[in-house]
Amino acid sequence: MDSLEILGFVFDRKAEMNVYWNFFLVVSTAIIATLATGKEFTDSWALKAVLTVAFAMFVVSNIFPMLSIIDQRDALLDLLGENSELSVALIESLTWLDRCKLIVFHLSADVLVVLGIWVVPWSRIREKG
């Protein structure tokens, strides 16, 4: 397998990562949009608990495949070796997101969504508007 074939597989992994980020954005936006309607049911503790548990389950099912994609990408780039004709800058641009950065960023966004569920007074905001 030559460098360009390996690079093609790396870009396939990158596209797959984007699919998981898109899932995350859709689910997060749907949760916040539901609450932002400000309807009476958005004050329900039961709804907030269900949304939080469902979101936590989604996060787990979302972050583990993302971590796996990073591992796959790194393994593919290791196949290139140091003697690759591809530029160092190109390889570095493909590896900027490591496991630690992904976990920190994802969990930070997760905390914001959970705070949006529990802390933002959606129905009162709607009443003022």
| Domain locations along the chain | 3-128
| pTM for this prediction | 0.85
Residue 92: the pLDDT is 80
Digit-coded pLDDT (tens) for 30-87: 999 999 888 888 889 999 999 999 999 999 999 999 999 999 999 998 887 766 677 7
Residue 62: the pLDDT is 97
Rounded distance, CA 91 to CA 110, Å? 29
Task: Mention every residue, 6+ apart, whose C-beta is less than 8 A from residue 19.
Answer: none
Band of residue 7 on the pLDDT scale cut at 50, 70, 90: confident
